[in-house]
Amino acid sequence: MKFTYLGHAAGYLETASERFLFDPFLTGNPKASIRADRIDPTYILVTHGHSDHVGDSVAISKRTGAPIITTFELSQWLEAQKAKVESLNHGGSQDFSFGRITITIAFHSSSVTEEGGRPLYLGEPAGIVLETEGRTIYHAGDTALFSDMRLIGDETPIDLALLPIGDRFTMGPKQAKKAVEFLRPKHVVPIHHGTFPALTGDPHEFVKLAKGTGAEIHVLQPGESMSFT
């Protein structure tokens, strides 16, 4: 199984049979490693409504036919734009041909900015647990640290966790280290850092802090990949 970091919170997971695209903010992303018209997922997973996570999901879904799996209110907004969607909500799971998706809580916000600068709220943000081909991947989305991360790790042992470390709008390195202790994943890729000046969380500081947690930390540059079994 291969995970490629695409920059910011975007990632691409390739399995034997499927290709999963997480939070595809590519157009307008100064750190993006690929153009939106060059990627070909079979499923798109979106954690919340902010533009740096929804990104190119509608355009990619329309071009490829890949459904967007996300929360209920956000799915309605995306469906109104003629995207193909599958909706879930917090605590809910759904079986698919590839395995299973569970939507978890996240502590953040979820909105788009309408014309005139007004925010349109789109329900609550989420984390996504993907179980496929005997492996479990957790994309935390944008979130603060919360103690119920322990329950996520208890429910399904996590092979790969994608955790934001940029600080200011999400966890920073210190809180992300505690998240690793709660979740107990085998592998971690830090995300949502360095894209913009405000995201000051240092992945190398995170590596130092997380030493001794038992997790293998992979600091990937946009376009770099890691494989896990």
In a domain? residue 113: yes
In a domain? residue 25: yes
* Whether the Cβ atoms of residue 186 and residue 216 lie closer than 8 Å to each other: yes
Q: What SS3 class is residue 81? A: coil
CB-CB neighbours of 94 under 10 Å: 12
Burial of 64 (0-12, 13-18, 19+ CB in 10 A): middle
In a domain? residue 229: no
Tokens of 205: 């500081």
What confidence score (pLDDT) does residue 60 get? Answer: 99
Tokens of 50: 């902010």
What confidence score (pLDDT) does residue 229 get? Answer: 85
5 forms beta bridges with 11
In a domain? residue 202: yes
- Identify the segments of the chain with pLDDT beneath 50: none
Amino acid at 229: T
Q: What SS3 class is residue 57? A: helix
Tokens of 128: 């996504």
Structural Rg of the chain based on CA atoms = 16
Number of domains in the chain: 1
In a domain? residue 191: yes
What confidence score (pLDDT) does residue 83 get? Answer: 98
CB-CB neighbours of 100 under 10 Å: 14
Give the C-alpha separation, 79 to 183, whole Å: 33
Tokens of 18: 């499927």
In a domain? residue 72: yes
Expressed in angstroms, the distance from the first to the final Cα of the chain is 6
Q: What CATH number did the domain enclosing 88 receive? A: 3.60.15.10
∠ CA 109-170-85, nearest 5°, is 45
What is the DSSP code (8-state) at residue 171?
-
Which of 11-24 are b and which e, b meaning 16 or more Cβ less than 10 Å from the residue's Cβ? bbbbbeebbbbbbb
Q: Which residues contact 117 (CB under 8 A, 6 or more apart)?
A: none
The string of pLDDT tens digits covering residues 57-114 is: 999 999 999 999 999 999 999 999 999 999 999 999 999 999 999 999 999 999 999 9
What confidence score (pLDDT) does residue 208 get? Answer: 99
Residues spanned by the domain of 178: 2-224
Give the C-alpha separation, 140 to 154, whole Å: 15
Give the C-alpha separation, 33 to 169, whole Å: 23
